[in-house]
């Protein structure tokens, strides 16, 4: 029995030979389209090559040599869109856009799309974009960052990249054509009609319209490839047009993607509009889907034979064949010869690709999770921003000079550190809700907007996906973004922008692309006066299993300053993604043991007086060997309070602040507790899924490796104190589920097998 791929193949040859070709609903001449005869042949070759690659992917899968069969058949009209734009207009592509990539490759000499795409089908380590990690459409030379099969998650960063282009121009930043997007560039982002319903797509399109409505330049073209079905779920008739044709701030254009002439003409309209007016366009392109969603999709289970055959009768290659014949460009036999010739070429190359090496070891697979350090990075590499050219450090802090001589709390110290970094490194952009004139909910960004302007301190709309997407897009164009998520619990609205987009980019591009940034998040619990678990979220487990991400958590202002500077260095020089978790309850904390002692404040160290805290470097209070308390954040603050009372009881202890929560510095942690007889882990997060689980595992595994018969009885006793598995309530019970100073003292004494001293009773007179 023939499969649908064979039927489509045979039908094409038969119908071309018989001149039994479909008519387009859109009447347009070759001259009206703006194409010439050679252009149409070139586009048809791209279409045929895309189709033959789809066929070959299924043959390779049958031979167990290919591993991806989501094809582009029916969407080949997007080749005309590629031709309408420049190769350096950054494109975030839908996974059915093979013809787009093939056509774009013709704009740059030396490209080998057949070989490259077949290598990706075979998951070969030689695949030039992902190195065999996934079949992705991408190319560094062609300004196409790789995308996997995530639904619409690339749209927010497309908005960010588009925003970055006029921003660089407004800020008069230096321009390197090999690194940065052209000042008159346009960004493209394509997706399917089913994906258009996803909250990520809706948020990104809304953000673009919201931005354009305010007359802010945004040269962006959304390309909705509407084939009328999402796997097995039909899109309601006319839904995309009804939903997007009348959006304020969004130019809507429609074309018949089965008709190359109409598609090219409309795509050029979109290109000219976006490039000239710097405003977003929604290009709605009609397509069909051939051969189901993927090779494993049995579309006969949900579509009738009649519907399948009606769809196949509208094969875009048949439509182009008619245009070639009607315009006296190629005869039927020449079209068939071209079709066969490309098929033979693809088959020959495939035989070479299946022999190429594949990834074999975990080390090879993981090699691109962390990008390589930027070579020869230095201050001279930082962009020069004329908007700050007249601003000296003395002017920057003219109103704060008196306060800078006095000890200050975490929030103010971090504010000054950010100001110094923004003055020193003019590619830093901050973005988030309320971070502008208001200065953020906790004043951490106070006065930064006034000092550096609204272009560098961006007040965003209330949408975490858009905030993080903006940051990823900015990073694609040479900026170092420092986005803020207002509260830790809010990040769950957008965690895929970190997990599925930002953190995976280096991995799926074999280190060629990266989006370095520092994501500031106010979080953790113990906050007073603010209600409920949305403002007191004591779980950051969502970050701990994302490969390659760094998680920083300062417990005090002095550490926050140096850790932020290190985070910026990691992002600038090592292209890392850093999540900077700031304990809300410690923002304004000044005292440690009693009111007025000021022991949790510090004076601000200027950059030339910095005392760097390297990634993974721990902090330790005390040198006692009887008890080691491993902790972080609020836990370190509370443990320091508990330590004072434990020391009164002659307990020799040390308190260790982890500072960097991912990746854990295993060697430093083990060294810090090596000579201690008891270890207590104090974790303010929940018992289940907290970092205490990782610490317990680390300690037990490493101690087991080190143990022998001679020293087995010297293994330390270990326990942990955590929060309970609960959300945080409002009011007086806000800390009921959390570890407190007295809990730490009791847990330490139990571990040491010592009793809590009875309260002193004064004699009655």
- Looking up residue 680, the CATH number of its domain turns out to be 3.40.50.920
Residue 481 lies in a domain: yes
Residue corresponding to tokens 């305010």: 214
| pLDDT band with cut points at 50, 70 and 90 for residue 385 | very low
The stretch 537-551 carries a mean pLDDT of 94
Asked whether residue 626 falls in the same domain as residue 596, the answer is: no
pLDDT at 387 (0 to 100): 43
pLDDT at 679 (0 to 100): 97
Residue 304 lies in a domain: yes
Tell me which of 546, 579, 609 is where a domain ends: 609
pLDDT above 50 for 645:
yes
By DSSP bridging, strand 480-485 and strand 428-432 are parallel
215 C-beta neighbours (distance < 10 Å), count: 10
pLDDT at 269 (0 to 100): 98
**Concatenated DSSP letters of 173-231:** ----TTTSPPTT--EEEEEETTGGGSHHHHHHHHHHHHHHHTT----EEEEEEE-SEET
Residue 164 lies in a domain: no
Asked whether residue 416 falls in the same domain as residue 345, the answer is: no
| C-alpha distance from residue 82 to each of 85, 150, 352 (Å) | 6, 22, 28
What is the reported pTM?
Answer: 0.94
pLDDT at 601 (0 to 100): 97
pLDDT above 90 for 715:
no
Residue 314 lies in a domain: yes
Tell me which of 366, 387, 413 is where a domain ends: 366
73 C-beta neighbours (distance < 10 Å), count: 27
pLDDT above 90 for 637:
yes
pLDDT at 384 (0 to 100): 46
pLDDT at 1 (0 to 100): 47
pLDDT above 60 for 29:
yes
| C-alpha distance from residue 372 to each of 119, 323, 661 (Å) | 23, 49, 22
pLDDT digits (tens, 9 = 90+) for 159-194: 999 999 999 999 988 888 788 999 999 999 999 999
pLDDT above 60 for 519:
yes
Beta strands in 524-600 (DSSP E): 550-552, 577-583
pLDDT at 177 (0 to 100): 79
Residue 172 lies in a domain: no
337 C-beta neighbours (distance < 10 Å), count: 12
Considering only CA atoms, which of 170, 187, 178, 96 is closest in space to residue 472?
187
Considering only CA atoms, which of 448, 472, 387, 427 is closest in space to residue 159?
472
**Domain residue limits at 548:** 379-609
By CB neighbour count within 10 A (0-12 exposed, 13-18 middle, 19+ buried), where does 582 fall?
buried
Asked whether residue 661 falls in the same domain as residue 738, the answer is: yes
Q: How far is residue 636's CA from residue 683's CA, in Å, rounded to a whole number?
A: 9
Q: How far is residue 627's CA from residue 748's CA, in Å, rounded to a whole number?
A: 8
The stretch 532-550 carries a mean pLDDT of 89
Considering only CA atoms, which of 475, 538, 488, 529 is closest in space to residue 739?
538
| pLDDT band with cut points at 50, 70 and 90 for residue 706 | confident
pLDDT at 383 (0 to 100): 47
pLDDT above 70 for 246:
yes
Q: Which residues contact 62 (CB under 8 A, 6 or more apart)?
A: none
The stretch 697-705 carries a mean pLDDT of 91
pLDDT at 369 (0 to 100): 94
Q: What is the three-class DSSP state of 436?
A: coil
Domain count, the chain: 3
Write the CATH number for 465: 3.40.50.970
Tell me which of 317, 340, 366 is where a domain ends: 366
pLDDT at 376 (0 to 100): 47
pLDDT-above-70 percentage for the chain: 95
- What is residue 263's DSSP assignment? H
pLDDT at 292 (0 to 100): 87
Tokens of 433: 């809700």
By DSSP bridging, strand 717-723 and strand 428-432 are unpaired
Ramachandran area for residue 371 (φ above 0: left; ψ -120 to 50: alpha; else beta)? beta
Which helix (H) or strand (E) is 630 found in, with range?
strand 627-631
Helices (H) and strands (E) counted in the chain, each on its own, are 27, 21
pLDDT digits (tens, 9 = 90+) for 251-301: 999 999 999 999 999 999 999 999 999 999 999 999 999 998 887 888 889
Contact present, 435 and 457 (Cβ < 8 Å): yes
Q: Point out the least confidently predicted range of 68-77, 238-247, 444-453, 712-721.
A: 712-721
pLDDT-above-90 percentage for the chain: 84
pLDDT at 380 (0 to 100): 45
pLDDT at 707 (0 to 100): 66
Considering only CA atoms, which of 625, 624, 619 is closest in space to residue 637?
619
The stretch 578-596 carries a mean pLDDT of 97
| pLDDT band with cut points at 50, 70 and 90 for residue 389 | very low
Contact present, 570 and 576 (Cβ < 8 Å): yes
pLDDT at 759 (0 to 100): 54
Asked whether residue 603 falls in the same domain as residue 647, the answer is: no
Contact present, 20 and 320 (Cβ < 8 Å): no
Residue 162 lies in a domain: no
Asked whether residue 486 falls in the same domain as residue 631, the answer is: no
| C-alpha distance from residue 555 to each of 253, 570, 586, 742 (Å) | 53, 20, 7, 19
Contact present, 127 and 120 (Cβ < 8 Å): yes
Q: How far is residue 262's CA from residue 260's CA, in Å, rounded to a whole number?
A: 6
Asked whether residue 605 falls in the same domain as residue 695, the answer is: no
Tokens of 193: 């009609």
593 C-beta neighbours (distance < 10 Å), count: 11
Q: What is the three-class DSSP state of 26?
A: coil
Asked whether residue 412 falls in the same domain as residue 272, the answer is: no
Considering only CA atoms, which of 174, 553, 627, 528 is closest in space to residue 381?
174
Asked whether residue 393 falls in the same domain as residue 461, the answer is: yes
Asked whether residue 73 falls in the same domain as residue 10, the answer is: yes
Residue 308 lies in a domain: yes
| pLDDT band with cut points at 50, 70 and 90 for residue 382 | low
pLDDT above 50 for 474:
yes
pLDDT above 70 for 723:
yes
Q: Which residues contact 12 (CB under 8 A, 6 or more apart)?
A: 315, 317, 318, 321, 339
Tokens of 152: 């619409």
Mean pLDDT score of the chain, rounded to an integer? 92
Q: Please report how many Cα atoms fall inside a 13 Å half-sphere around the Cα of residue 147, on the Cβ side.
A: 25
Asked whether residue 664 falls in the same domain as residue 586, the answer is: no
Asked whether residue 362 falls in the same domain as residue 503, the answer is: no
pLDDT at 443 (0 to 100): 94
Considering only CA atoms, which of 460, 473, 475, 516 is closest in space to residue 158?
473
Q: How far is residue 120's CA from residue 142's CA, in Å, rounded to a whole number?
A: 17
Tokens of 295: 């090779």
Asked whether residue 745 falls in the same domain as residue 727, the answer is: yes
Residue 232 lies in a domain: yes
By CB neighbour count within 10 A (0-12 exposed, 13-18 middle, 19+ buried), where does 239 fall?
middle
């Amino acid at each position: 029995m023939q499969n649908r791929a064979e039927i489509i193949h045979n039908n094409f040859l038969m119908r071309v030979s018989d001149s039994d070709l479909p008519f387009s609903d859109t009447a347009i001449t070759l001259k009206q389209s703006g194409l010439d005869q050679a252009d149409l042949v070139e586009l048809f070759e791209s279409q045929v090559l895309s189709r033959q690659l789809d066929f070959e992917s299924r043959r390779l899968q049958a031979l167990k040599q290919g591993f991806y069969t989501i094809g582009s058949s029916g969407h080949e009209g997007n080749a005309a869109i590629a031709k309408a734009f420049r190769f350096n207009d950054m494109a975030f592509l839908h996974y059915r856009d093979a013809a787009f990539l093939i056509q774009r490759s013709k704009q740059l000499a030396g490209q080998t799309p057949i070989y490259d795409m077949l290598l990706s089908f075979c998951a070969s380590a030689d695949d030039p974009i992902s190195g065999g990690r996934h079949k992705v459409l991408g190319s560094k030379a062609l300004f196409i960052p790789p995308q996997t099969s995530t639904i619409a998650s690339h749209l927010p960063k497309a908005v960010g990249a588009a925003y970055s282009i006029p921003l660089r121009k407004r800020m008069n930043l230096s321009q390197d054509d090999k690194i940065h997007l052209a000042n008159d560039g346009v960004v493209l982002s394509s997706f399917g009609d089913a994906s258009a319903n996803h909250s990520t797509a809706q948020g990104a399109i809304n953000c673009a319209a919201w931005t354009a409505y305010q007359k802010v330049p945004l040269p962006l073209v959304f390309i909705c490839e509407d084939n009328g079905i999402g796997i097995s779920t039909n899109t309601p008739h006319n839904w995309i047009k009804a939903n997007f044709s009348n959006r304020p701030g969004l130019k809507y254009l429609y074309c018949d993607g089965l008709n190359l002439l109409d598609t090219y003409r409309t795509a050029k309209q979109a290109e000219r509009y976006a490039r000239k007016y710097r405003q977003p366009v929604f290009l709605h392109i009609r397509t069909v889907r051939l051969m189901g969603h993927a090779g494993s999709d049995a579309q006969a289970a949900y579509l009738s034979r009649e519907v399948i055959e009606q769809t196949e009768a509208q094969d875009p290659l048949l439509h182009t064949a008619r245009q070639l014949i009607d315009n006296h460009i190629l005869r039927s036999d020449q079209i068939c010869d071209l079709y066969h010739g490309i098929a033979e070429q693809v088959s020959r190359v495939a035989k070479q690709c299946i022999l190429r090496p594949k990834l074999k070891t975990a080390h090879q697979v993981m090699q691109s999770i962390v990008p390589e350090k930027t070579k020869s990075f230095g201050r001279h590499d930082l962009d020069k921003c004329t908007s700050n050219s007249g601003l000296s450090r003395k002017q920057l802090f003219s109103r704060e000079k008196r306060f800078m001589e006095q000890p200050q709390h975490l929030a103010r110290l971090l504010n000054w550190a950010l100001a110094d970094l923004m003055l020193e490194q003019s590619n830093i952009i901050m973005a988030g809700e309320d971070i502008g004139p208001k200065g953020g909910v906790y004043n951490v960004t106070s006065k930064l907007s006034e000092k550096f302007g609204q272009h560098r301190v961006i007040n965003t709309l209330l949408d975490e996906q858009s905030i993080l997407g903006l940051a990823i897009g900015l990073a694609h164009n040479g900026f170092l973004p420092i986005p803020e998520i207002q509260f830790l619990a809010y990040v769950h609205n957008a965690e895929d922008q970190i997990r599925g987009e930002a953190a995976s980019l280096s991995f799926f591009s074999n280190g060629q692309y990266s989006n370095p940034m520092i994501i500031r998040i106010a979080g953790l619990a113990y906050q007073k006066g603010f209600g409920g678990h949305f403002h007191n979220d004591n779980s950051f487990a969502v970050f701990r299993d994302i490969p390659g991400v760094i998680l920083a958590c300062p417990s005090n202002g002095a550490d926050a300053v140096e850790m932020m500077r290190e985070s910026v260095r990691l992002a600038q020089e090592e292209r890392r993604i850093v999540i900077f978790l700031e304990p809300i309850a410690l923002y304004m904390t000044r005292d440690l043991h009693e009111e007025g002692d000021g022991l949790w404040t510090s004076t601000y160290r200027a950059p030339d007086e910095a005392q760097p805290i390297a990634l993974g470097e721990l902090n330790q209070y005390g040198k006692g060997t009887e008890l080691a308390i491993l902790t972080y954040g609020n836990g370190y603050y509370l443990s320091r309070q508990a330590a004072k009372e434990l020391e009164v009881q002659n307990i020799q202890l040390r308190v260790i602040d982890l500072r960097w929560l991912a990746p854990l510095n295993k060697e430093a942690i083990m060294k810090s507790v090596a000579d201690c007889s008891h270890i207590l882990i104090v974790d303010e997060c929940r018992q289940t899924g907290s970092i205490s689980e990782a610490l317990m595992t680390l300690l037990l595994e490493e101690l087991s490796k080190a143990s022998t018969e001679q020293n087995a009885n010297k293994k330390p006793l270990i326990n942990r104190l955590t929060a309970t598995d609960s959300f945080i309530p409002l009011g007086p019970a806000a800390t009921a589920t959390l570890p407190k100073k007295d809990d730490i003292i009791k847990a330490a004494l139990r571990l040491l097998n010592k009793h809590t001293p009875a309260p002193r009773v004064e004699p009655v007179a």
